[in-house]
Amino acid sequence: NQSIVVADHWNHRVIKVDNETTQISIVAGIGSSGRDENKLNLPLSVAVDQLGTIYVADTKNHRIMRWPRGAISGNVIVGSRGEGSRSDQLSEPSDLSFDSDGNLYVVDAGNNRVQKYPIDKSSC
């Protein structure tokens, strides 16, 4: 089953569109902004790993969130200390992607840099 996962920016959520049925489902966020682990604030980018885990650039919360498949809440993997320029902080992350080794690359737009984070798959 092939699906498309996209950041629904203005609705503060991530949706999945099933290519066969065109059914739309919310897979991250609840549709209102906030800092709780079940909320997003203007997400801009999404990446999905081989396990179906969803990673979200939660732009205005200055963090990267991880949603395991089927989870109702995510967990913060980068940016739990708020906005900033230290290596464990972000400022308006705008895009993310994985390399072939499973490292996560984040465009940290507010700090004019790209950050690389190794992802611990055992905690997914």
Estimate to the nearest angstrom the gap between the alpha carbon of 70 and the chain centroid: 15
pLDDT at 113 over 50: yes
Burial code (b: 16+ CB inside 10 Å, e: under 16) for 67-87 equals: beeeeeebeebbbeeeeeeee
Q: Over 60: is that where the pLDDT of 36 sits?
A: yes
In angstroms, the Cα distances linking 83 to 1, 50, 63, 88, 115 are 38, 29, 8, 9, 14
Taking only the tens place, the pLDDT of each residue in 60-73 is 999 999 999 989 99
Contact assessment for residue 26 and residue 72, using Cβ atoms and an 8 Å cutoff: no
* Topology annotation, domain 3-123: Neuraminidase (2.120.10)
d(CA 90, CA 25): 28
- Give the residue, 119 or 5, on which the prediction is more confident: 5
